[in-house]
Structure 1
Amino acid sequence: MSLEKQLRIFKWVSILEGISFLLLLFIAMPLKYIFEMPQMVQQVGMAHGVLFIAYVLGGLLLIKPMNWSLTQIGIILGCSVLPFGPFYVEKKYL
């Protein structure tokens, strides 16, 4: 697979992972704990989990082709657990 295609896929995964995390934090969790509607957490949580794993794996696969330093790798992987973090990575490193 070409680097361009890998980057395009990782950008999409990054955006979708960021959106799923925000949906989980700001919509699904309040629905669960304030309105006692846990169904959304189950669905969005599963999607977010899959996207999180895809984000981490995609980041690891791009280390060598993108020639990222250890610091950059730490930032990129660390941003996966921060709200809005994947959007920062998408704009700054991709």
Structure 2
Amino acid sequence: MDPQNRPAILAALTRYRVMAWVVGCLLVLLVCVAMPLKYVWHNPTMVTYLGVAHGWLYMALLITAYDLGRRMHWPWRNLLLIALAGTVPFLSFVAERYATRNVRSTLAASDAVAADELTSGVTGEAR
């Protein structure tokens, strides 16, 4: 992985994490608060507003997930799972944690390889 891509990858990760949390919180509110209000107390107002907000922001989540996945060269299966996680309550938080761990471990491994190459290059010149 090219070290010059690191700032762009971290920025894409931050955008994705923010959207995953926003969409996840909206979905939890929609399912746990607004839906009971609609079906138990016959008040559909919150479902209307939270549903629309969740729908639009879910599209932004898909864009940020695609951006991060493209930068990380993830397979389509991972992108599909992350995209579907935004439709199941609480699962977007799990997907966000998985993506964060994956990105950080990949970047750490890339840094270790770069440091190894730098060290072996310096050692090779000294011989």
TM-score by length of 2: 0.68
Uncovered stretches (5+) of structure 2, i.e. residues with no partner: 1-6, 101-127
The CA distance in 2 between the partners of 1:29 and 1:52, in whole Å, is: 18
Query: How many residues are aligned here?
Result: 94
- Partner Cα distance (1:32, 1:78) in 2: 25
Structure with a larger share of its residues in helix: 2
CA shift for structure 1 position 46: 1.5
Residue 13 of structure 2 is aligned to residue 7 of structure 1: yes
Give per-residue Cα distances to partners, 1:27-84, cap 9 Å, x unaligned: 0011011101111111111211121111111111222211111221221112121111
Q: Distance in 1 between matches of 2:87 and 2:8?
A: 28
- Give the alignment partner of residue 39 of structure 2, picking from 18, 30, 33: 33
Provide TM-score, normalisation by structure 1.
Answer: 0.90
Letter of the 2:98 partner, please give it: K
The 3-state SS of whatever aligns with 2:86 is helix
Q: 5+ unaligned residues in a row in structure 1: which ranges?
A: none
Following TM superposition, where does structure 1 have runs of at least 4 consecutive aligned residues deviating by more than 6 angstroms? none
Question: SS of 2:21's equivalent?
Answer: helix
**Aligned counterparts of 1:37 and 1:24: Cα–Cα separation in 2:** 13
Aligned pairs for 1:75-94 (under 5 A) are 75-94=81-100
- Displacement of 1:2 in angstroms is 2.2
Once the two structures are aligned, what percentage of the paired residues are identical? Answer: 29
Secondary structure in structure 1 of the residue aligned to 2:42? coil
Q: 1:38-49 alignment to 2 at 5 Å? A: 38-49=44-55
Question: Whose relative contact order is higher, 1 or 2, with alpha carbons under 8 Å and at least 6 apart?
Answer: 1
